[in-house]
Each structure stands twice: as structure tokens, then as C-alpha cells.
A = this chain, B = another copy of it.
């Protein structure tokens, strides 16, 4: 028998460990040695779950860990915690890693999986690193926020950023009984939606008692006499804060890859082919929050940090390293979230994204109910659809509502993947029964109106 190949994984979270697990399922330890380096203390945890842990919806942090280091090791993965890879040497097929004792060692690889994740954005403003300013990226961050909440006299929270993490953390702070201010540089919260849909989120958040400050750039975190953050200042105003939460999004964690000369896209993420091989790099694969993904609707690459993509990409990598064949075809930009009982969903392109992609479109916005109007708990939802001029191809779907609204976006996600027109969508055989939908599902109502808009636009010429 020949010598085993070695798979080296950098990053012990979703993408990296999914790749390792899949490869292990297909190739035994005699055939494939697997070494995984993780600079932190945890593996395979749900960063998306941190706001719900902080908000008290779920226990943590153990509950957020899908698979522990011990479980990975039991499956024959040589996992090195607290060990940071400091250099990748593609020419010689090896990586340099520093272990917890500070020792640096080269490890050679036949296959390398780069799954270095994302780095939270932290604007370089005064006070940003003061005690009392918290990120929500890691389990350690989550514990730190909870300790911060336990301090005496914590009454006011300022959440910086109005995206997914921002609105989820605003809810979490509300649940701790805090006065919550959300400061966001965009005109409306949830900038992944069009402004008209984002304004519905704003109304909902204001209805919950959140003070929403839009179009406001944070200039400074003021620090009190105790050395802790005491307020957040914008150009226009200062917002007192006993606790500051940063939810400003992330950038791809590709410093290591960049230093190794690996190809990065315009958003700073690694560029791969559909099999998740890094372009032009022999034996190197990448997945998760450190890569750019093809948006199948726009035809452009973008950076989206989302656990579901990381898991899928890791699985694809592991199957391919394992001797099978799989591809990650790309994304359509689906995302769902909620703030208290308000559900928020989007897929495809919003208006500004469609314009940026050179696509012309018509829009339709409708209001309909989640269930038959006469059925208990039927609640209004607003559905917006973008369709391409002329062809009527679906380009995007956005939903804001209060009851079984968000997951309806999956209808749009599949239709986008299939390249359906909004007219074709009007005929979709969606599930109907009074407890689950009006006789015309809200998505069908939107498709009808969008189809009419496409036709009217054609008539106008």
C-alpha cells in the first residue's frame, strides 16, 4: 500500500470541518491523513445563533456547537486547537503553524482547504476598542456581551449597524430590558432590502421601542471616567450607551491567502471554480466566509458570509477530495431574518443590485395575508418582486411580514435558480389550505402583479 495523502484544513468551523468530515467519510485514515488547524478554542459552531443565545432564546455556548473537537478527533481528524497558521507556501505545498506554546512548524499537504472565515468590520474610530464595545462574531464575543449585560446599572445599548446582526442584536438587547438605539449609516435598516421594504422594518422596530437613527456615520465611541464606553457620537448627535454592540458586517478573512499570492476577487474573497478549487493553485481548495460566490442572477461574484453556504461548500470540497464529484453552482442571494415577530426575507437582486448588473426591471409590491383571511392569526405581509423588462424573468423577491412570511422566499429562490418568468410563476401549484395560505398565495399575487407590469411596460415600448 502506498503512503497516505495528507489533507490540511485551515479553520475549524463550518466549511473546514464539513470538508474534513466528508473527506473522512469517503477515505479512511490509511488513505488520507487529515490535520485541521483552528486558532480558537471551538469547532463547528453556529455564529448565526449568537444573537439568540444573547437574547435568551437558547442556552449557550455548548448548544451552538454542532460538533465538538472531541467528536472530530473521534472521527480520525487530527485537530490542533489554539494553533494559528501564519503562512501558506503553495510552491512547496506546506503551511507554517504556531502552536499554543509559540512553536512554529511546517506541515506539508497534498490537499489544502482554506476556510479562514470572515473578519468583523471595525471602523478605525476613537474609542472603538474600549471596554464595553462588543462584537458578535465568536462564542467568546457572546460570553463577553453576556458579562457586559450582567454589570450593574446597564440600561442603554447602542447597536451600530442596521443589517442582519444589527436588527437581531437590537432584539436581544430589548429582551434584556434595555433602551436600544440602532445607529446605521444607510437610509433604512436592512440595506439588503430596497428602501421601501426597509422602511417597513424601521416601522416595526420603532413599534418595538427601538430608536432607529439612519443615515448616520459613527464618528467616535466616547469613553467615561471608568475607561468604559459611555456614548456613541455621530456628526449630528451623541447617544449615551452603557453597552455598544458592533454589527457592521464582515470582510473575507483572506490576509493569509493574499500573502500567499492566491487570487482574490474585487470584494477581497478567494476566487474558486465550481468544484471550490482556488483558481490556478494546485491542490488548494477554499470555502465558507473567505470566498466569493457567483450570484446566478447578476452573473457577478459577491461576498456573502452565511453558514448555509459554508456548509454546502465544505461538503462539496470534501466530496471532491474524497474522490467523488460535486460542485457549488452559486447563490441567488437568499437571506431571512426576524426582529421579534417581524420576519424579513430577500432573494435575488434588489433594485440597486439589478441596476449595477446592467439589468432593467419592473417592480410590483402587494400586500396579502399569510393564511386565508378568515383563519386565525392570518397576518398581512408585503411582497415585492422585480422582473426583467421584456423577458419577465424573475430577478428578485423581498418579503416583510409577521406570520410564516420569511420562508416563502424559498419559492423565489427555486424560481430564480430555474430562471422562471413571473408569468410562469402565476401558474405555480403552491400548497393551499386555509391554515397555510389564501387561495392565491401572496407570492402568486405578487407574480400576477409583476406579470401585468411586464406586459404594461412592453405595451409602452
CB of A59 closer than 8 Å to a CB of B:
yes
Considering only residues 356-374 of chain A, those with a C-beta below 8 Å from chain B are 372, 374
Tell me which of A88-96, A116-124, A263-271, A306-314 binds B.
A306-314
CA A398 – CA B312 in complex, angstroms?
23
A295-336: which have CB < 8 Å to B? 306-309, 311-312, 327-329, 331-336
Q: Assess whether A246 is interfacial by the CB under 8 Å rule.
A: no
A449 nearest CB across to chain B (Å): 13
Contact present for A48 and B433 (CB under 8 Å): yes
> Which B residue's beta carbon lies closest to that of A14?
B439
Q: Flag if A429 contacts B58 (CB, 8 Å).
A: no
Which residues of B sit under 8 angstroms from A441, Cβ to Cβ? 308, 410
Q: Which residues of A, 421-461, contact B by the 8 Å Cβ criterion?
A: 424, 426-437, 439-441
Q: Is the CB of A429 within 8 A of B411?
A: no
* Chain B residues with CB under 8 A of A308: 429-430, 432, 437, 439-441
Q: A57-B375, A58-B374, A418-B418 are in contact. Are A413 and B435 (CB under 8 A)?
A: no
> How many copies are assembled?
2
Residue A219, interface by CB 8 Å: no
Q: Cβ of A426: which chain B residues have Cβ within 8 Å of it? A: 312
Q: How far is the CA of A347 from the CA of B428 in the complex (A)?
A: 12
Determine the chain B residues whose CB is within 8 A of the CB of A440 once the complex forms.
308, 311
**Quick check: is A29 within 8 A (CB to CB) of the other chain?**
no
Chain A window 156-184, contacts with chain B (Cβ cutoff 8 Å), 1 for yes, 0 for no: 00000000100000000000000000000
Judge if A408 is at the interface, Cβ distance under 8 Å.
yes
A351 smallest CB distance to B (angstroms): 20
A199 lies within 8 A of chain B by Cβ:
no
Is there a chain B Cβ closer than 8 Å to A213's Cβ? Answer: no
| Interface bin, chain A | 35 or more
Q: Which of A387-413 contact B (CB under 8 A)?
A: 404, 406-411, 413
Query: Is A108 at the interface (CB under 8 A from chain B)?
Result: no
Q: Which residues of B contact A432 (CB under 8 A)?
A: 48, 306-308, 334-336
Contact of A347 with B429 at beta-carbon distance under 8 Å, contacts A418-B414, A439-B308 already known? yes
Task: Tell me, yes or no, whether A187 is within 8 Å of chain B by CB.
Answer: no
Q: CA of A360 to CA of B440 in the docked complex: distance in angstroms?
A: 33
Complex-state Cα separation, A408 to B57, whole angstroms: 24
Closest to A451 in B: B326
Determine whether A204 belongs to the interface, using a CB cutoff of 8 Å to chain B: no
Sampled A-B contacts (19; CB under 8 Å): A14-B439, A46-B434, A48-B439, A57-B435, A58-B434, A308-B441, A312-B426, A312-B427, A333-B429, A334-B429, A334-B431, A336-B432, A338-B436, A407-B431, A409-B431, A410-B441, A411-B411, A414-B415, A417-B424
A-B contacts besides A334-B432, A343-B436, A406-B431, 8 pairs, CB < 8 Å: A46-B374, A46-B439, A58-B375, A335-B432, A409-B431, A410-B411, A410-B428, A414-B415
